[in-house]
Amino acid sequence: MRTRLFDGVVATAAAAGAGLELFLSILPPNPHGLSGTLISYFSYFTLDTNVLVAVAMAWSALAPESKPGRFFSRPGVRAALTLYIMLVALVYHFMLRDVWTPHGMAKVSNFLLHYVAPVLMLIDWLMLSRKDSLKLGQIIPWMAFPAGYATLVMARGAMTGIYPYGFLDASRIGWSASLMNIAGMILGMGLAGCVMVLAARRLPGRGAYGAEPAK
């Protein structure tokens, strides 16, 4: 029960941040309309990741025995989610926090998305999530989500000239620099994944509800 409760806390934090950001995005004046706003909204890795975490952790909390609940509770899936949202926190803190200064409710959503949800997800992985079957070979498939995101964002940017992040803006910094930034982040994520897999051998890794690790 403790695991399900904390999964629910993580889901609530991620959903609150993502939901508040969406609400603020569609408030008037909104020159892009609902469809344009949604396209812009889901072009941000921060929001994609928080939505993914909210859905995954909600399934684990509310229906752990369902097919999606079991999938999102798998050690490899849970580790990948943790890796993605920690990238959100680290990139924001070290690269983006001085780019703009949110105010009011935007400051609340910003804090939930970039700090609260990532920290709670990390605690969940460190203390409660199963780690009994993590292997280094799983890291390459984990990179599919950020690689797919980067591909879609760069393709959209090439067609529209709109990039969600300055370090991806090929129209301003050039394609070589943008692709180098993408490669560096994916490589860094892969190395962080290696650290997680190796560290998992020394961390608590019992199954949910105190079950023994899968053989």
Given a contact cutoff of 8 angstroms between Cβ atoms, the answer to whether 192 and 198 are in contact is no
Q: How confident is the model at residue 100 (pLDDT cuts 50, 70, 90)?
A: confident
Instruction: State which H helix or E strand residue 67 sits in.
Output: helix 67-72
Nearest CA among 63, 46, 58 for reference residue 12: 58
What pTM value is reported for the model?
Answer: 0.90
Lowest mean pLDDT segment, chosen from 70-79, 92-101, 103-112: 92-101
% of the chain exceeding 90 in pLDDT:
81
pLDDT tens digits for range 163-198: 999 999 999 999 999 999 999 999 999 999 999 999
- What is the pLDDT averaged over residues 114-141? 94
Q: Is the pLDDT of residue 32 over 90?
A: no
Q: How confident is the model at residue 215 (pLDDT cuts 50, 70, 90)?
A: very low
Domain ranges of the chain: 2-210
Task: Provide the CA 121 distance to its chain's centre, in angstroms.
Answer: 10
The four Cα atoms 201, 189, 51, 120 give a dihedral, to 10 degrees, of 50
